[in-house]
Every structure is written in structure tokens, then in C-alpha cells.
């Protein structure tokens, strides 16, 4: 059974170490802060053997060099990461990455950046999605098109509903406020938003979360819902998504 160690990094990032006790291998999922990752691994007596980057942004790759220098870890990443750091193995949609005997499938979830990927571990029921999907939100569309981003969100929607989603930021409270504005009359959303408010008030994390809950409440995943389309406009889900994304950016 994989062990997942989660810890806050930088201002609002989460760091994740994924450890396989059988093989002794440990993957760093993104690297917002290399020194912090090394400290956290050391405290568990884990040696980081691999880095799995989701996209090129510095708060996801900035610690690669320090971790590689200290551990010799293998860097697995989408090609876009080569813009700012060396990559040992470039991966893309359909590729498989192993941690011991545990298999992670690489998914194309571009839109936030063009080459953004997610790591889905189907047998373990986990997905590390970086900045593509958040609790009640999605990443800003910096590089991709609405068509690309919608295709990515549709792929995430098609994962088994019981999949546990690990996203890279604690943005849930702000996302909940926009979601309540975007999707009025959604009872499941009202309950979820209240839970997020309570958790944040107690200083608790809202990550990870089950995909099933997002399917019912996340306005960006619901851009193909006829009611959302009627309210936000758009003849196709990507157009509704674009309207929602623009409204959130200005909210």
C-alpha cells in the first residue's frame, strides 16, 4: 500500500511525497520547495528516487535541482519543463510511470499550461492533478484554449468517481465563494461550501477530495450541464467553461 505524505509549501501549495514501502521508492510530486521536500523525506527516512512534475511553473519545478543534487532522483516531466530544468524522462498522454509495482498513467490535462499532465494511479484510486483541477475550481487558463481545457476537464470527469484527487493548492475557500455565485440552487454545493468554510476556520486542509463530490458541485466540471449553459451562455461546454473562467478571473 502506498503512503502519501502531504505538507504545506510556499504560500498555498501542497507538497506530496508518494512512498512505496515494498520497493523503498519515493516520488516527489512537483517540487515547490526543494529544501522542504528533502527535510520531510529525511524525517521519514525516505530517499526521494523520482520527481514527477505536472507542469513547468516554478512553484511546481523550482525544487527539482536541489532534490536531484541531494538524491540523484530521476526527473519525469512533460516536455515543457525543459524550458527551465533538465528532464530525464519526458512523458506524455498514454505513458506509464512506475513506483515499485504501482502504475501511474500519464494524462493530458493541458489548459492551465499547454503541456500540463496529471498522474493517475488507477489501482490505488489516486490522481495528482497539479493546477488543472481544484476543489470547486480549475486552474487559470494561461496558455491553453477553452477547447483544450474542456477536453482536459472531460478526461478528469471520466475517471472513476471514487478517485481521490490531490491538487496542488489550497484555493478551496475562494473557489467555494465563486461556485456559490456561479451555480445557485445547487444544494450539494451549499453543503460542501459550508464544510470547506468550517475546515478552513479550524485550519484544516480541504485537499485531497473525492472526484464524486466535484462532479456534483464544481461549476467548471459542470460546464456541460444544460442549466449551467443556460445561465452562463455558450452552445458548447467549452464556451460555457470560457464564460465561467472569465467570470472567476474577475470575481
Where is the binding site for Zn(2+), in residues?
55, 57, 59-60, 112, 131, 169
CB 47 to Zn ion: min, Å: 27
CB 250 to Zn ion: min, Å: 19
CB 79 to Zn ion: min, Å: 16
Determine the interface stretch with Zn ion among 41-49, 127-135, 185-193, 194-202 (rule: CB under 5 A).
127-135
Determine the interface stretch with Zn ion among 2-10, 57-65, 85-93, 117-125 (rule: CB under 5 A).
57-65
CB 30 to Zn ion: min, Å: 9
Residue 110 or 237 with smaller CB distance to Zn ion: 110
57 binds Zn ion (CB under 5 A): yes
Q: How far is CA 214 from CA 156, 190, 217, in A?
A: 10, 12, 5
Interacting residues with Zn ion between 203 and 242 (CB under 5 A): none
Residue 57 or 238 with smaller CB distance to Zn ion: 57
Pairing relation of β-strands 50-52 and 26-29?
parallel
Q: Residue 83: CA atoms inside 13 Å, Cβ hemisphere, count?
A: 13
248 binds Zn ion (CB under 5 A): no
One of 20, 80, 131, 170 touching Zn ion (CB under 5 A): 131
30 binds Zn ion (CB under 5 A): no
CB 34 to Zn ion: min, Å: 17
Spatial separation of the C-alpha atoms in residues 161 and 246, rounded to whole Å = 27
Determine the interface stretch with Zn ion among 61-69, 128-136, 172-180, 189-197 (rule: CB under 5 A).
128-136
Place of cell 507538497: 15
Q: List Cβ neighbours of 221 (8 Å cut-off, separation of 6 or more).
A: 133, 138, 153, 156, 157, 214, 215
Among residues 173, 155, 153, which one has the least CA distance to residue 223? Answer: 153
Residue 28 or 229 with smaller CB distance to Zn ion: 28
| Residues at the interface with Zn ion (CB under 5 A) | 57, 131
Amino acid at each position: 500500500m502506498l503512503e502519501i505524505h502531504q505538507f504545506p509549501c510556499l504560500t498555498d501549495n501542497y507538497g506530496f511525497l508518494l512512498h512505496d514501502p515494498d520497493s523503498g521508492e519515493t516520488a516527489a510530486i512537483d517540487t515547490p520547495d526543494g529544501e522542504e521536500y528533502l527535510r520531510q523525506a529525511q524525517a521519514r527516512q525516505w530517499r526521494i528516487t523520482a520527481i514527477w512534475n505536472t507542469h513547468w511553473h516554478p512553484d511546481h519545478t523550482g525544487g527539482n535541482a536541489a532534490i536531484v543534487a541531494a538524491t540523484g532522483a530521476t526527473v519525469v516531466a512533460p516536455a515543457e519543463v525543459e524550458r527551465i530544468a533538465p528532464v530525464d524522462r519526458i512523458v506524455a498522454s498514454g505513458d506509464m510511470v512506475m513506483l515499485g509495482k504501482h502504475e501511474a498513467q500519464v494524462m493530458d490535462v493541458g489548459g492551465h499550461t499547454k503541456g500540463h499532465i496529471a498522474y493517475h494511479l488507477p489501482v490505488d484510486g489516486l490522481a495528482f492533478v497539479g493546477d488543472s483541477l481544484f476543489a470547486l475550481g480549475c486552474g487559470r487558463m494561461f496558455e491553453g484554449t477553452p477547447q483544450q481545457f474542456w477536453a482536459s476537464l472531460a478526461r478528469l470527469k471520466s475517471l472513476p468517481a471514487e478517485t481521490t484527487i490531490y491538487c496542488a493548492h489550497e484555493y478551496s475557500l475562494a473557489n467555494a465563494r465563486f461556485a456559490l455565485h456561479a451555480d445557485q440552487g445547487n444544494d450539494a454545493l451549499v453543503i460542501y461550501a459550508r464544510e470547506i468554510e468550517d475546515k478552513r476556520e479550524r485550519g484544516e486542509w480541504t485537499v485531497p477530495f473525492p472526484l464524486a463530490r466535484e462532479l456534483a458541485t464544481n461549476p467548471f466540471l459542470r460546464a456541460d450541464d444544460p442549466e449551467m449553459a443556460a445561465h452562463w451562455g455558450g452552445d458548447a461546454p467549452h464556451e460555457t467553461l470560457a464564460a465561467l473562467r472569465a467570470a472567476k478571473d474577475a470575481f
